[in-house]
Amino acid sequence: MLGRKDHSITRKDIPPQAIAVLEGLRRAGYQAYLVGGCIRDLLTGKKPKDFDVSTNATPEQVRRVFQNSRIIGRRFKICHVVFGREIIEVTTFRSNQEPKHESFKHQTSGTGMLVRDNIYGRTAEEDAARRDFTINAIYYDLKSSELIDYHAGLYDLRRGVIDMIGDPKRRYLEDPVRMIRALRFAAKLGFTISKRTSDPIRNMEHLLLQVSNARMFEEVNKLFLTGHGLQSYRILRKYGMFEILFAGLEQFLDNPSFDSFVEYALQSSDERCRDQKRNMPHFLYAVILWPKFQAEVSRLMALNDTMASPASVRELADLACPTVLREQNSVTAIPMGIAESIRSMWSLQLQFLNITDPDEVAAIASKQLFRGGFDIFKLRARFEPYLTPYVEFWEPYYERSAKTASERRQMLAQKDSRREQQEQQQRAEAPAERPAEPERAPRPAPKKPATGSNEVFTDDSDAERQDRLARARAWRASMHLDP
C-alpha cells in the first residue's frame, strides 16, 4: 500500500464523472476503487482513455444508485454509467470461490474457456486474484488517495514487466484473449513479457479461433488503431499470432515487399494517432488484406481468359471482394458498413488508373472515400513504382479535397460551438424546474382498417421503410445473396 505522498496520482488526474461514480457508490454504502488501465497509464505517464471502477455492489445495485446507467454483457455482467458521451464502466468484484448453488457456478466450454462468470466477491483482494496481469491489479482509493497492490504490480511497473496473475496456461484456457492482451501491452508500453507468461503462447494461440469474431474485431482495433500498430505487428509476427488474426495471409508473410508495405502503412497510422488524428478500421483491413485481394483478382483473371464472354476487371474485383472478406469475417466480424468501405477503397485502386476521361476523373475525385483510397494508392506507389505517374496526376485533386475537408471541419466546429453557447444561455435563462408529473400510461394506438399490402406500405413513415430495407440488406448479406 502506498500513501498519497509516495505516488504521483492526484484527484486532478481523475475526470469528474469517475469521481461522481466513486463518491455515489461510497455514499450508498459500497466499496469503490479505480483500477486497471487508468492506474497503470497514470503511473507510466500516459493519458488514460477510460477510467474503470471496481466495487462490491452488484450490477443491479449499481443500476439502482445511478439512474443514468445500464447493465450490459452476459459472459461478464457490468454496468455503464453514462454522462453524455462519457461512460464510466463499473465492474463488480469477482471471486474464485465456487458457490454451492449449481446455477451460479462458473460455466466453461469443453476446452476450459469461461463462457459465464458472474460469481461476485466481497473484497478488492478477491477481485485482484481474478485480474489478468499484475500491472492491471493496482487499486486507487479516492478517499484516502492510497494505492493498494496485492500482486506486486508496482514492482513490475518499475521493472517494465508483464506478468500473469496465477497459472498462465489456466488463465489462457479461461480466456484466450489474454494472449493478445499480453502482446498488446508489451507493444503499447515497451515492456517485456515474463518467460512464464510468454512460453505457453506459442502452443496455445490456436485457441483464439474459439473466441467470438465480434470480440476479436474489437481486439484487433485496439492492437492496430491506437498508436502502437507497428510494434503490435512486429510482436504478433514474433509469436506467430498475426496469421491467426488475418486468415489466408501465410503465403505473403515471407515476402519482404509485403512486410515493408504493412510496416510503412502502420507507421503512418501511428503518426496520425500522435497528431491526434483518428485511424479507421476500414483503412487497416484494406491495407493488410490488399495483397490477398490482388491475388484473388489475378486468379479470377486467369479463369476469365478461358471464358467465351470475359468479364471486366471491375466485375472480377466485385467478385473477389466478398470472397476475401468472408474468410476474414470468420475470425473478425467486420460490420457491414466497414466492409462496404473496404470494397469501395479497393475499387478505387482500379479506378485511379483511369486518367483519360475527364468526366470519370471528376466523378472519382468527388467520391466519399476518395481521400482514404488515394492514401492507400500512395502507399502502394512506394513499392510499385509504375504507379508514380498516376499519383502525380491525382495529387492536385487530393490537395483540393483536403482543403475542402478542412473548411468543412471548421464550419462544423463553429456550428457546434454556437449550439453549445445557445444551450448554455437557455439553461441560464430557464425558470426553476417543476417536480416531474407522474407518467401516464400510453393510450393504445387506434386500429387501422384492413387494407391491401401496397396501401400499408404507402402509409409507413420514411424511417420505417429505411429500417425495413436495412434489415433486408442485412439478411441478404448474411445469406451471401449479394455479389
Look at the block and give the residue holding cell 463553429: 414
Q: Give which of 285, 482, 282, 295 is closest to 368, Cα–Cα.
A: 282
Q: Which residues contact 192 (CB under 8 A, 6 or more apart)?
A: 160, 161, 162, 186
Q: Give which of 225, 208, 214 is closest to 268, Cα–Cα.
A: 225
DSSP class of 227: S
Q: Which residues contact 452 (CB under 8 A, 6 or more apart)?
A: none
Amino acid identity of residue 170, one-letter, is R
Annotated catalytic residue 270: no
Angle, CA of 93, 31 and 158, to the nearest 5°:
70
DSSP string, 112-179: S-EEE---B-SSHHHHHHHSSBGGG-EEEETTTTEEEESSSHHHHHHHTEE-BSS-HHHHHHH-THHH
Q: Report the alpha-carbon distance of residue 126 to residue 128 in Å, rounded.
A: 6
Ramachandran region, residue 338 (left: φ > 0; alpha: ψ -120 to 50; beta: rest): alpha
Annotated catalytic residue 52: yes
Q: Indicate which residue of 41, 117, 132, 375 is catalytic.
A: 132
Q: Indicate which residue of 13, 50, 259, 318 is catalytic.
A: 50
Amino acid identity of residue 67, one-letter, is Q
Look at the block and give the residue holding cell 519482404: 256
Angle, CA of 210, 133 and 2, to the nearest 5°:
160
Ramachandran region, residue 265 (left: φ > 0; alpha: ψ -120 to 50; beta: rest): alpha
3-state secondary structure of 88: strand
234: buried, middle or exposed (CB in 10 Å: 19+, 13-18, 0-12)? middle
Q: Which residues contact 428 (CB under 8 A, 6 or more apart)?
A: none
Angle, CA of 317, 324 and 313, to the nearest 5°:
10
Annotated catalytic residue 375: no
89-111 burial: b if 16+ Cβ within 10 Å, else e: bbbbbbbeeeeeeeeeeeeeeee
Inter-axis angle of helices 281-288 and 290-304, nearest 10:
50
Which grid cell sits at 160? 517494465
Q: Indicate which residue of 52, 156, 175, 375 is catalytic.
A: 52
Residues taking part in catalysis: 50, 52, 132
